[in-house]
Structure 1
Amino acid sequence: MLVLGLMSGTSLDGLDLALVRFLDGGKKYKLLSAYTHSYSKEWISLLKDARKLSKKELSDLHINFGNLLGQLAVAFLKGKEKPDLISSHGHTIFHQPNKGITLQIGDLDRISLITGIKTVGDFRQLDVLKGGQGAPLVPVGDDLLFSEYDYCINLGGISNYSTLYKNQRIAKDISPCNIVSNIFSSKLGAEYDLNGEFGKKGKIKDDLLHKLGTWSYYTKGKSLGIEDIERDFIPIFNDFELSVEDKLRTFYEHIAKMIGSFLVGGKSKKALFTGGGVKNSFLMNCIEKYSDCNIIVPRNEIIDFKEAIVFGLLGYLRINNRINVLSSVTGASSDSCSGKVSNI
């Protein structure tokens, strides 16, 4: 089955589109084409501030973002083989699973209407209704497509990992990642910290490093929303009068320590790293210092598009009535075949 996977992440760097053919019951894939559409300043602002909107305004944004996704899909697919399915993550606006709330915008009917292709999405809601976190969702792809690795780590807006433990896939959001470094980089006039150059200029501040490590999420949390980070994590930095570079340097050390604590077992264990944070060479050096495993950095198309590929897989599994959300990962009462389907 040929599937177009769409992924819009919390770091707001753009929409990832991946045209993927799934083979052997979803155990193999072939990436035919992939592209990242960078959001305009207007769309970045709209998505960033969406939590402040009224119910009517948010409903309008849901429709308009669906229109955008449909239009971008049509443009991307021009001259390519028409997929059997579009599988869209949407863009997360609210994620508070402990309150039974998760919302990803991007109207599926609009995508299906504009493209003329069956579209599936809204993968998190059913799991949350079953008492789960609705996240992480990528581990089912780690299980089926990347099982040769002992650990799969994604350095996106939020860092997360998955691994096999006692024959069950387990996973967790580890820490804030690019969301925070991008915020600090913007204060220095850049969209992101290229190769960690800003952070490299700073110094580790032990008091701040210790305070970050005491964040309550680390003792009781399983999945993170940007609301949690803005409400409870970023304010920690505000208690310290430091340069932006010192804050970034200390943050990188913090991320490295948190991620490294999950990567155990020695150099015989392979840890696959993907996501935009992998391109921050200074951050990767920090992580390697704390990791006990053999860190594997794949080719760029996997670094950039693994999540879009896996969300394509989630849609493929949903259409074939197979499990695509693992309760061993999310904490739900049972596994799910999750996702709503639009076929206009």
Structure 2
Amino acid sequence: MRAIGLMSGTSLDGIDAALVDTDGLDRVATGPSLTVPYPGDFRDALRAILGQTVATEEIRTVERRLTELHAEAVGRLRADHGLDHVDLIGFHGHTILHRPDQGRTWQIGDGGLLARLTGVPVVSDFRTADVAAGGEGAPLVPVYHRALVAGLAKPLAILNIGGVANITWIGPGADDLVAFDTGPGNAPIDDWMRAKAGAAFDAGGETARRGTIDHAFVGRFLEHAFFARRPPKSLDRDDFARFRPDHLNAADGAATLAACTVAAALAARGHLPTAPLRWLVTGGGRHNRALMDGLAAGFNVPVEPVDVIGWDGDALEAQAFGYLAVRSLAGLPLSFPGTTRVPRALTGGRLDRPPVF
């Protein structure tokens, strides 16, 4: 089945769209992808609704525009690569609130509207069923990681550094799958750069690499109760928003926040069943040299971007939601006790079909 996956997630960068041809099990063939940055005014509007708990006209307006931008991304991908036939779209939407302890997770995005705009069936709302069953609702990508690593030595760990960072640990057994959020990813660094340097992010980690780490601040960061909790566990993008090193200049603050992201990933080792033989890093964070250098210095095994094994780290999550859409359509599980703490393997997602005339 040919599916386009769409991911914007917790970052505020834009939309990743990627084609995947899959049976939702072990057969996966990846295709073209693209990234469409959000217009600046829309990014500001999206940022303004993060953390809101009640549906408002403002949120509905942002949701409609978000959906239209995703439809445009689908159209561009299909036009650029001659994709005449697409069976399904996996539409993650954008997370504006994640509070699984309160039984809530909220990804805005109108699957029905996207189906009408694209003429393709859409699976969306991937996380609600998991949270309703007592799970964390995140991460959901691990089952896709497992489908990709058949020929690799195990155990191994895949560290995704998006707005929030999460880990997938895959062991040698068929059911050896553990996953959880490790801590903040790029979000605090991006917010810092926006406030202190007028930049959307720290390109290549160059600002952080010029700075000096405040190790006392990193120590206080690691005292947060989240790090002592046993996984599976998950975070909202802004759960660590109060950890802002406002006493530092732009470079030292970027270096310190990068060190916090690294320290959180290193702390995650204590929750893994056995030590990984290697760490593969995906997401935008793999482009940040301060993060990659810190991880390489902290782990005593190889730390490499997923691109070295032929994966596209910029498209991986979008591919995953195409894969998950196919699994949802087939009634296959998306989450498991070891990945979200859901009581049993559980499917999810909601299907919207385009109108038939």
Paired residue secondary structure (1:289)? helix
What displacement does 1:153 show? 0.7
Paired residue secondary structure (2:180)? strand
Give the structure 1 partner of residue 326 of structure 2: 316
For 1:16 and 1:218, how far apart are their aligned partners in 2?
A: 30
Give the structure 2 partner of residue 225 of structure 1: 236
Decide whether the 8 Å contact of 1:69 with 1:106 is kept in 2. Answer: no
Deviation readout 1:183-204 (Å, 9 max, x if unpaired): 1222113221122111112112
For 2:67 and 2:248, how far apart are their aligned partners in 1?
A: 41
What displacement does 1:255 show? 2.1
For 1:96 and 1:262, how far apart are their aligned partners in 2?
A: 21
Which amino acid is 1:161 matched to?
Answer: I
Give the structure 2 partner of residue 204 of structure 1: 213
Give the structure 1 partner of residue 176 of structure 2: 168
What displacement does 1:289 show? 0.5
Give the structure 1 partner of residue 3 of structure 2: 3
Deviation readout 1:280-330 (Å, 9 max, x if unpaired): 122201111001222232328611011011111100101112112223211
Q: Which moved more, 1:154-163 or 1:321-330?
A: 321-330
What displacement does 1:128 show? 0.4
Paired residue secondary structure (1:227)? coil
TM-score normalised over the length of structure 1? 0.91
Decide whether the 8 Å contact of 2:255 with 2:290 is kept in 1. Answer: no
Q: Which moved more, 1:32-41 or 1:158-167?
A: 158-167
What displacement does 1:92 show? 0.5
Decide whether the 8 Å contact of 2:206 with 2:289 is kept in 1. Answer: no
For 1:259 and 1:143, how far apart are their aligned partners in 2?
A: 20
1:1-344 residue pairs with structure 2 within 5 A? 1-23=1-23, 26-51=25-50, 52=52, 55-78=56-79, 79-147=82-150, 148=152, 150-164=156-170, 167-186=175-194, 187-220=196-229, 222-230=233-241, 232-234=242-244, 237-238=245-246, 241-263=247-269, 269-299=277-307, 302-344=312-354
Which amino acid is 2:75 matched to?
Answer: V
Deviation readout 1:155-191 (Å, 9 max, x if unpaired): 1111110113674311111111210111122211322
What displacement does 1:54 show? 5.3
Runs of 4 or more, structure 1, over 4 Å off, are: 263-266
For 1:81 and 1:31, how far apart are their aligned partners in 2?
A: 16
Decide whether the 8 Å contact of 1:67 with 1:107 is kept in 2. Answer: no
Paired residue secondary structure (1:284)? helix
For 2:89 and 2:286, how far apart are their aligned partners in 1?
A: 27
Identity %: 28
Instruction: Give RMSD over aligned pairs.
Output: 2.1
For 2:254 and 2:236, how far apart are their aligned partners in 1?
A: 21
Paired residue secondary structure (1:172)? strand
What displacement does 1:107 show? 0.2
Q: Which moved more, 1:328-337 or 1:215-224?
A: 215-224
Which amino acid is 1:29 matched to?
Answer: V
Q: Which moved more, 1:206-215 or 1:221-230?
A: 221-230
